[in-house]
Amino acid sequence: MRQQTEQVRTFGENDSLPVVTKTITQEKINRYADASGDHNLLHLDPAFAATTQFGGTIAHGILVLAYVSEMMTTAFGEAWLKGGRLKIRFRGAARPGDTVTASGRVVRVEGGETKCEVECRNQTGDVLVSGDAEVAIR
């Protein structure tokens, strides 16, 4: 049974968003492939992936981006679902065994819009995802 109430704090400029940390495994990648229907061999087949510039399987970019969305939901609750915007670049690959941390910071609050810088990094600090997220606070 889900909670029917949400507790969302108010964020101001320069406030950090609550981080989300996940460990990537091949099992999780496979599970996401089944859910999304994206069975690209680069994600699933170690032999094929070994022939690419990545040298092994990598997580779907949109799986890693889901961690950013979870962070935004944690921070802004239903407001994120009812009026959100993401614009990001995938800058690096998340591999099985990696620990991925999504983080962000509010850069502007204006006219009911809250704009944030968001990113995901792996355990060595490599940027995997970077970009902006905006949420309408009504």
Cβ–Cβ under 8 Å, residues 70 and 20? yes
Nearest one of 32, 36, 30 to 49, comparing CA atoms: 30
User: Does 95 sit near another protein (CB under 8 A)?
Assistant: no
Q: How far is the CB of 75 from another protein (least distance, A)?
A: 9
Which residues 8-47 are close enough to bind another protein by CB under 8 A? 22, 28, 31-32, 34-38, 40-42
CB-nearer residue toward another protein: 80 or 106 = 80
Name 16's bridge partners.
105
Phi, psi of 37 (to 5 degrees): 80, 5
User: Does 87 sit near another protein (CB under 8 A)?
Assistant: yes
Select from 46, 62, 99, 123 the one that contacts another protein (CB under 8 A): 62
Assign residue 37 a region (left: φ > 0; alpha: ψ between -120 and 50; beta: otherwise): left
Work out whether the CA dihedral 7, 12, 16, 19 comes out positive or negative: positive
Binding residues for another protein, per CB under 8 A? 2-4, 6, 22, 28, 31-32, 34-38, 40-42, 48, 51-53, 60-63, 65-67, 69-71, 73-74, 77-78, 80-90
